[in-house]
Structure 1
Amino acid sequence: MSDPLRRIDALVDEDTLPTPQIRKQLRLAAGLTQTEVANAIGVKRLAIARWEAGLAQPHRGNRRAYAHLLRRLAAKHPDAIKEG
């Protein structure tokens, strides 16, 4: 997803996730650890690591919660969604 508008749309859609790179950038921009994100969503830290590495995708409820968190982080840290 190289088009900025598509990346932004991915952050707005209810359960669509941005690229793994942007997921990590958003977390780091907010100063959060993988453990903090995992605790907020209710998963293990390894799940967050795998989602940020693109090795796995969250399932249903976790996906919605993760997408919600990422949308909130993107609103607070809009510069973090810039790839490149």
Structure 2
Amino acid sequence: MSDPLRRIDALVEEDTLPAPRIRQQLRVAAGLTQAEVADAIGVQRVAVARWEAGLTQPHRGNRLKYAHLLRKLAAKHPDAAIEGAPNEG
């Protein structure tokens, strides 16, 4: 399977998360802050910051919620889910 197809599959698997950079790109494309994402998931903002930096991974329950959110954002903003899309910080 080619790399783009693996990245797409990763976005639709129930608890598979895209690369940290893509997580951030999806959030930014949706106009959401880390605090808004954290509030929706039920964690502190620093947790989302660490997930986006690739420093930590969410635990199972939070991982399912975060993956669900990212899948929804990827459906709304497919260009942000593409590896190599500009990183808007």
Tell me the TM-score normalized by structure 2.
Answer: 0.91
**Unaligned residue ranges in structure 2 (runs of 5+):** 85-89
Cα offset, 1:4, TM superposition: 1.1
Structure 1's consecutive aligned runs of 4 or more residues displaced over 2 angstroms after TM superposition are: none
Counterpart in the other structure of 1:60: 60
Aligned alpha-carbon RMSD (Å) = 1.0
Distance 2:27 2:65 in 1: 14
User: CA offsets per residue over residues 19-49 of structure 1, 9 Å max, x none?
Assistant: 0000000000000000000000000000000
Distance 2:79 2:53 in 1: 20
Provide the aligned length of Structure 1 versus Structure 2.
83
**Unaligned residue ranges in structure 1 (runs of 5+):** none
Identity %: 81
Tell me the TM-score normalized by structure 1.
Answer: 0.96
